[in-house]
Amino acid sequence: MRGATRLTWAVGCATAVTLAAAGCGGGGGGGAAAGSSAGVVRAFWTDPQNPLEPSNTNEVQGGKVLEMTFRGLKRYNPDTGKAENAVAESVKTDDQQNFDIRLKKGWKFSDGSPVTAKSFVDAWNYGALVTNKQVNSYFFEYIDGYDDVHPEDENAKPKAQKMSGLKVTGKHSFKVKLNQKFSLWPDTLGYAAFSPLPEKFFTDHAAWLKKPIGNGPYKIDSYTQGQSMRLSVNEKYAGPDKPKNKGVELKVYTDQNTGYTDLQAGNLDVFDELPAGQLKNAERDLDGRYINQPAGLLQTLSFPLYKKEWQTEKAKQVRRGLSMAINRDEVARKIYHGTRKPASELTSPVIKKSGGYKPGMCGKTCTYDPKKAKKLIEEAGGLPGGKISITSNVDTGSHRQWMDAVCNSINNVLDKSDACSVNPVPTFGEFRKDIADKKLKSLFRTGWQMDYPLIQNFLQPLYYTGASSNDTGYSDKRVDSLIDQANESGEQEAVKKFQEAEQIVLEDLPAIPLWYQDGNAGYSDRVSDVRLNPFSVPVFTDIRVK
């Protein structure tokens, strides 16, 4: 009998739970839709990877917030990608190395404190100092004294706390000395890493991180990490692009497909990370409320030039042959449904022709020509070692699919079934480690997301001898000297010199240009005027809510 009573108790308990569940159910239903108020844009978000400090944010999700809450000296025009003065009144130089910067008066942070020269200098010093562990600290590497605050050696301690090249000369002016001539440097200042920071960032860092304060068109009302962020219009904003809506609510989604379903159901307004599987349906599903715009992202296929067999003249001919054996157009259409465009040079359409983008510079080398490809490779004595492999991480971006397609394309050209094989690496971290350790013996994927829309950014970090992202180990004296000359000359001249350098790189072909990646987004019928800036971040200030 004893056991029986216990069983009764258990059943009773289960019933109680059900009743409680049903009871709560009545009150909680429909709460999701009622949460947002009129005039507010509801946008897709995922948790930013790093804390939301400007010099520690290097991906789109954190970038979204910074674009809304901060304005630096310059801002990239969302349409043209040109760097235009924002907080800066003027940036002047006579020798391409010493810059005089004057700020506009009247700019304020959303907490009411003024934006001064010190706000910039302190922020940049913070970003550069190695012990602050900021992933974007390399942005400050051209400023004189960077080596003292951020020594290259892993174990070295910083010799100084501040960069000697930064000098505050007045409340609204400061001087910058670079450690080399760099004529396009003022145009790099639109990147979020160069944002000013308020006093509070330094005095109460923990509180600032919980609710960042900036000088941009929006201010943060509430921020629940991993769930949502609500932003409203910053009344103290001094810039010209005042928001055309009442605010933005960023909602964290666990999965892109859920975001897409929510967009279709009308619970989400702006969605900028369409899942790859939906790309071919998006235009129809959303009744044309779908945008596809060039982004500053180029995918290339790199060769391990640090290996002997890839250094010879014959290997160069093989590289050209391989480039001609890839049917870029078909991959872009069939696998990416037009969200990638075949690349014919090493920059990106977002920098525009005035900025150095020159379609077709690669010429025949980047055009699919199976007969010529086969001839070139065979004349050069075939592939080094008889076969090649392509390595990439396969956790994102449909990399596995295009690698298979490219390999098939190469195998068909060479009439062999095993000339090219795919070597998938499970995670991005592992793949990067293999690249950093120079472990890869054959071709590998390299993607480049621009830091700022300048031709310099597509060449110098990648192909200058010993540069930070020169993964192929490419080194050419002519290229180095042309890049140096470009940095010393005025803006117009600089672009030409960079293009000359690019031409040489394309002839040597340390990396095969594959395709330009587009940014895409969908939006609900509740909003209009949605577009993306050159970094594929939605321009929230322009969005109108019906």
Partner 1 sequence: MGRYVVRRLLQMVPVFAGTTFLIFVMVYAVGDPVNAMFGERAPDPATAAQLRAEFNLDKPVWQQYLLYMADIFTGDFGNAFNGQPVTQLMSTAFPVTLRLALIAIVIEIIFGIALGVVTGLRRGRPVDSSVLMMTLIVISVPTFVTGTLVQYVLGVKWGWIAPAVSPAAPVGELLLPGVVLALLSLAYVTRLTRASISENSRADYVRTALAKGLPRSRVTVRHLLRNSLIPVVTFLGTDVGNLMAGALVTERIFNIQGVGFQLWQGIVRQNSPTVVGFVTILVIVFLLANLIVDLLYAVLDPRIRYA
Query: Looking only at residues 141 through 160 of this chain, which bind partner 1 when binding is defined by CB under 8 A?
Result: 150-156
- Determine, following the binding rule CB under 8 A, whether residue 221 of this chain makes contact with partner 1: no
- Segment near partner 1 (CB under 8 A); pick from 221-229, 353-361, 495-503, 530-538: 221-229
Interface residues for partner 1 in 433-452 (CB under 8 A)? 433, 435-436, 446-449
Q: Please report, for residues 260, 281, 282, 526, 540, the alpha-carbon distance to residue 264 in angstroms, rounded to integers and kept in the order given.
A: 6, 12, 10, 12, 20
Contact 474, 486 (CB under 8 A): no
Residue 518, both tokens = 């587009």
Q: Which residues contact 188 (CB under 8 A, 6 or more apart)?
A: 83, 139, 194, 451, 452, 454, 457
Residues 50-109 that bind partner 1 (CB under 8 A): 50-51, 58-59
Q: What residues from 3 to 42 belong to the interface with partner 1 (CB under 8 A)?
A: 3-4, 6-7, 14, 17-18, 21, 24-33, 35
Q: Is 130 in the site for partner 1 (CB under 8 A)?
A: yes
430 binding partner 1? (CB under 8 A):
yes
Rounded Cα distance between 103 and 170, Å, is: 10
Q: Is 222 among the residues that bind partner 1 (CB under 8 A)?
A: no
Binding footprint of partner 1, residue count (CB under 8 A): 78
Tokens of 249: 């609510």
Nearest distance in Å: CB 258, partner 1: 4
Nearest distance from residue 117's CB to partner 1, in Å?
26
- Which one among 180, 224, 312, 481 touches partner 1, defined by CB under 8 A? 224
Binding mask 236-255 for partner 1 (x = CB under 8 A): ---------------xxxxx
Q: Which of residues 185-214 bind partner 1 (CB under 8 A)?
A: 209
Shortest spacing between CB 6 and partner 1, in angstroms: 5
Interaction mask 272-311, partner 1, x per CB under 8 A: ----------------------------------------
Decide if 58 contacts 136 (C-beta within 8 A): yes
Alpha-carbon distances, residue 409 vs 324, 362, 415, 423, 443 (angstroms): 10, 20, 10, 16, 15
Which residue from 12, 47, 242, 529 is in contact with partner 1, where contact means CB under 8 A?
A: 47
* Smallest distance from partner 1 to CB 526, Å: 15
What is the phi-psi region of residue 386: left when phi exceeds 0, alpha when psi lies from -120 to 50, beta otherwise?
left
> Least distance to partner 1 from the beta carbon of 430, Å?
4
The distance of closest approach from Cβ of residue 377 to partner 1 in the complex, given in angstroms and rounded to an integer, is 29
Residue 48 CA to residue 252 CA, distance in Å, equals 10
Residue 175 Cβ, how far from partner 1 at the closest point, in Å?
26
Under a CB-based contact definition with an 8 Å cutoff, are residues 448 and 469 in contact? yes
Does 338 participate in binding partner 1 (rule CB under 8 A)?
no
> What is the footprint of partner 1 within residues 400-429 (CB under 8 A)?
426-429
Segment 461 to 480, residues that bind partner 1, using CB under 8 A: 461, 468-469, 471
Provide the token pair at 156. Answer: 């070295």
370 DSSP assignment: H
- The CA distance from 400 to 213, in Å, is 41
Amino acid at 240: P
Long-range CB pairs of 233-236, under 8 A, 24+ apart, other chains included: 234/69, 234/110, 236/108, 236/109, 236/110, 236/112
Asked whether position 267 contacts partner 1 by CB under 8 A, the answer is yes
